Structure 1
Amino acid sequence: MVSQPETSSSVSYRGPPSVVSRPSLSRTKRYNRSHVGGASYIPQNEFPVFSQSGDVEIIIRVTGGSVENRYLLHRHTLTRCSGFFEASTSEQWSKARPLLAGGNELARIGEHDTPTGSLIDSDTERGDSKRTPRKRWKYVLDMGKDDNDIPMLVQQDELRDAPRTKVQSIFGPGDDTMRPSSRSMSRSKGHHSQSSSVSSNRDFFRSVANLGSSTSGHHNSSSSTSSGLVTKAEQDLMRDYDNLFRTMYNYPPVLDGINVADAYVQCKSLLSLADQYDALGVVGPRVDHHLLQFQSRLWRQIAKYPISYLRLGYLAKSKVIFQEALIHVVGQWPAGERSLRTALPEVVLDIIEDKVDELEETVSRVEGRLFRLGLTTGRGERVTPQTNYLDWLAVSLFRQWIADNTAPQPPPPERRPSRDGRAPLPPSIPPLTSIGRAYRTLGSSQPVTYLNHDECKRFLKLTPEMYTRDNLRRFEKRIEELKSMARDIVRPLMNSGLELELSGSSKAAEISYLTCTEVGNRDLPWAIEN
């Protein structure tokens, strides 16, 4: 019997030879190992800090610098999504400073687009220090001088290879003062010659921001700066900027998904910021997608605040939200006209006025048919006081009800006479808000809501010789015939394009104005891609 040699391991292996021959291979795998702080650690190249390929550094700092968010993003992504970054990183406005591989400063030269990669050009990485390196841009949030200024990103001109000097920006010198280096002192004379044009850039971009934004509610007060506490307005500002950059990189923005009112406030603030940086084309679809998830809750909110949602739908280019709000606004015209002219551009007001004209024209046609509505006798003759006095009374009562409920309230007695002593003529078309309820009553499936039994009885009693049980029964029958014909005539006004009514919400039953306005793709203030 041949003895086996001893091994150093105390573990005996059983099984086929192929299994026994693998212990050394399985021991090469390593799990749960951390390289943090080690020489082999490579920073992650992902949002919000693309440490390997990012070339635009953005710092959102509030409360005197105690709280900040830092982003290192890509110029080619920001310029595709934002007109602001496209302009400010262009050759005309850009203050980016290229650096050689060895850290030597170059004079300002023309920009050359290079593929996204490291911050240094590929030829420079190979040791050719004479080639142009990649450029890097830096933006810092400027909160402004007072509450009237809108917080805005300003571009800083800061060298990476030298000690930090006084912050420079294409918008003018900053407020932070650092220890100047000898290199920065050597070029201070050349920089001073450009100071007049550089200082004007700050006022130019800030004036554009103040013009393009309706509110400046981001910057609350300076009391929080001294105390070091972040105010609610500053938290919202940092959230909006974070959502803006997340949207540019196709990440879902952090918005309230439970409370539709809070979601509206957040979406409105985000859209205002996107409008300030000319990025509505990217942010708008995200806001539209988020709000439409609320469905019936959103339709009820639009019915309560149509003017607010009309502006939001316009900024987000949301066809559904814009259409829903526009139908409410047209039906209640001229209610809220002053607010509409303040909050919306002329192109939207032109659409509203066109739709109001269309609705008034439809109402005029229906109204004319209603007043021409009449009854006929058994021989087919039109009812007159001579042919059938009782039926003529029914027609007279019905027309009087229409006139009383579709005409505006008469002016006070002291204002009735005009300058020439005559009473002013009523408007040709009464306000839509005063006639919507009347036409909805005429088109209702429950006609007992007007000219019911008690009203007919009181009317006939005004002529005692006409009041009998048989006459009352015949009178009510003829009134019902008029109601049925009127219901068919006003049917075009009963159509509705509201999502609120399609959803069967109880809120739709409370609407007293007309919602039959039709809004197509050609009625939108932006082009629809087929």
Structure 2
Amino acid sequence: MVSHPQPSDQPSLAHRPASVTSRSTGTRRHRTPRSHTGGSSYRPQNEFPNFAQTGDVDIVINADGQERRYMLHRLILTQNSGFFEAGTSEDWSKAQSRGQNSGVGPGNTLGSIGEDEETGREQARSTYPGAQGGRFIWRYELDWGNKEDEVPMLVQKQTQPTMFGGDQYRPPPVPNKPAPPSHGFLKSMSNFSAMQSASHIAKSNSAHNTDSDIIRDYDNLFRIFYNYAPSLDTVNIAESYIQCKSLLTLADMYDALEVVGPRIDHHLLQFQGRLWKQIAKYPPSYLKLGYLARSKVIFAEALVHVVGQWPSGSSQLRHTVPPDVLEVIEDKVDDLHDLKMRAEAKLFRLTLTTARGERITPTNGYMDWLALSLFRQWLAETTTPPPPPVPKTPDSGRNRHAQHLPVSSGTLFRMLGTGGSSYLARDELKRFVKLRPEDSSRDTLKKFEKKMDEIKALAREIVRPLNKSYLELDLVRDGGGLGYLTCTRIDEGDYPWD
């Protein structure tokens, strides 16, 4: 498998055989006019997708009432796809040749005992029916199978001479396609469409013509093999997601993720801010896509969201991703939980001291102790589910200052990290002080506010690590309303494919 080429709209000459480069370049630049006296000087096309002069792999895609034909190079296909590397291997060709010559007919030959390897190779080539005009031709057609829900896949065909001297396609007597790679990601997924965590994505996908999508996906697959940029939507990111997911599915079938994945990564990253917003909306979907494409940026961005919301996304990920992906998620969830528990413990133990360094108590600093008590009461009520409702009484509105609805951990720690008037604002402190009329002077209120500001400053330092964000998403501009923490850090060793 070769490394992924740099994105380009033009094919790289380094990835093409010398004969292909020279012929195709010459054909484009120096066109010789047809001769009307001695026949035609027209030469067959020798550029993508039809290398008529140098190609040795004939591929036919029949879908949606259309036929797309490709004459490509075994060298290029085997460099980019494990499927073609196995299907066009010497051992595979010999097996097909032996199966072809096992019956009774003029083409049957028996190999001599003791033949050397070179003689055997030449015999396999000479007896293989795909050999035409001095070239050894492999033929593939899209096999739709007998079931409507089957994913069509290319199968290798042979040409068999007929009694009229023509050729007809006939599947070889041996199994007609190599086994797909066992390590493929989608082989461990019961349904890749589970990536679609939003109903509008599913509806958009179902509105497409499946057969037309197959033609597009195969064309994009072969374009990437020949270092052309794939034809993917560059305007609608939801549409682009569907196309990228479909292309990755196909690439996984043909063991070509290492080549296709970087192209998908490059294409999606061009959306920049819109991509980060989409990942925030559908993190499980993009986590799977990022894993398939081996995109560290997309995978890490989605993983931060998934860990922060866990276990809300577990139903979409369990049994649909490999165990090593789940292991990374669960490890990060445990790390985040431990970080929160340590911060909460420090917050509840937070205290003030006197000028002598003594802890504040009701006897050595009554108003300071009241400020600490109010803070701890607020913290307990915002982190604890409310008790069962009680019947209303005429006096139920007296303690409204102490009634707080629980908030998510992300919202709580962001409030603590912001400080100021984000919680226990001045009006609430004023109501609290007025509960004791003898202490409700303006002077007392100012001292009380000053002590509360001191407490908030200490709390802000405690929660600082939890308020870090390792997202590309701009939380100030686009992340409003996130009720979970985004402080999960993804290190180099955390990517499950490394």
Q: Normalized against structure 1, the TM-score is what?
A: 0.71
Letter in 2 for 1:168: R
- CA distance in 2 between counterparts of 1:260 and 1:345 reads 26
SS of the aligned residue for 2:345 comes to: helix
Aligned-pair distance for 1:411? Answer: 8.2
Give the number of the structure whose alpha-carbon radius of gyration is greater: 1
Equivalent residue for 2:156? Answer: 155
Q: Deviations over 1:163-213 (max 9, x none)?
A: 244x4325xxxxxxxxxxxxxxxxxxxxxxx5xx54xx6796699998466
Matching of residues 89-238 of structure 1 within 5 Å: 89-94=88-93, 111=121, 134-159=135-160, 162-165=165-168, 167-170=169-172, 194=173, 198=175, 211=187, 214-215=190-191, 232-238=209-215
The reply to whether residue 284 of structure 1 matches residue 257 of structure 2 is: no
Letter in 2 for 1:521: E
Matching of residues 407-446 of structure 1 within 5 Å: 407=384, 409=385, 434-444=408-418
Equivalent residue for 1:47? Answer: 48
**Residue 157 of structure 2 contacts residue 170 of structure 2 at CA under 8 Å; is this kept in 1?**
yes
- CA distance in 1 between counterparts of 2:222 and 2:123 reads 22
1:31/1:353 Cα in 2 relative to 1: closer, same or farther (>3 Å)? closer
Larger RCO: Structure 1 or Structure 2 (Cα < 8 Å, ≥ 6 residues apart)? 2
**Residue 83 of structure 2 contacts residue 178 of structure 2 at CA under 8 Å; is this kept in 1?**
no
Equivalent residue for 2:462? Answer: 489
**Residue 97 of structure 1 contacts residue 136 of structure 1 at CA under 8 Å; is this kept in 2?**
no
Matching of residues 23-62 of structure 1 within 5 Å: 33-34=33-34, 38-62=39-63
Q: Deviations over 1:1-26 (max 9, x none)?
A: xxxxxxxxxxxxxxxxxxxxxxxxxx
Matching of residues 116-515 of structure 1 within 5 Å: 134-159=135-160, 162-165=165-168, 167-170=169-172, 194=173, 198=175, 211=187, 214-215=190-191, 232-407=209-384, 409=385, 434-444=408-418, 447-501=420-474, 506-515=477-486
Aligned-pair distance for 1:467? Answer: 3.4
Letter in 2 for 1:150: V
Equivalent residue for 2:23? Answer: none
Aligned-pair distance for 1:471? Answer: 2.4
- CA distance in 2 between counterparts of 1:112 and 1:458 reads 97
SS of the aligned residue for 2:271 comes to: coil
Letter in 1 for 2:356: R
Aligned-pair distance for 1:216? Answer: 8.2
- CA distance in 1 between counterparts of 2:355 and 2:182 reads 78
SS of the aligned residue for 2:58 comes to: strand
Equivalent residue for 1:73? Answer: 72
The reply to whether residue 85 of structure 1 matches residue 84 of structure 2 is: yes
The reply to whether residue 519 of structure 1 matches residue 490 of structure 2 is: yes
Q: Deviations over 1:352-378 (max 9, x none)?
A: 111112222222222222112111223
- Identical pairs, percent: 52
Residue correspondences, number: 417
Equivalent residue for 1:25? Answer: none
Equivalent residue for 1:424? Answer: none
Deviates more, 1:327-336 or 1:469-478: 469-478
1:448/1:206 Cα in 2 relative to 1: closer, same or farther (>3 Å)? closer
Aligned-pair distance for 1:447? Answer: 2.0
Aligned-pair distance for 1:315? Answer: 0.5
Q: Deviations over 1:436-465 (max 9, x none)?
A: 110011112x52010001221233344444
SS of the aligned residue for 1:510 comes to: coil
1:476/1:76 Cα in 2 relative to 1: closer, same or farther (>3 Å)? same
Aligned-pair distance for 1:107? Answer: 5.0
- CA distance in 1 between counterparts of 2:166 and 2:33 reads 36
1:462/1:35 Cα in 2 relative to 1: closer, same or farther (>3 Å)? farther
- CA distance in 2 between counterparts of 1:526 and 1:113 reads 42
Contiguous gaps of at least 5 residues in structure 1: 1-29, 126-132, 171-193, 218-229, 414-432
RMSD across aligned positions (CA): 3.5
1:380/1:516 Cα in 2 relative to 1: closer, same or farther (>3 Å)? same
Equivalent residue for 1:223? Answer: none
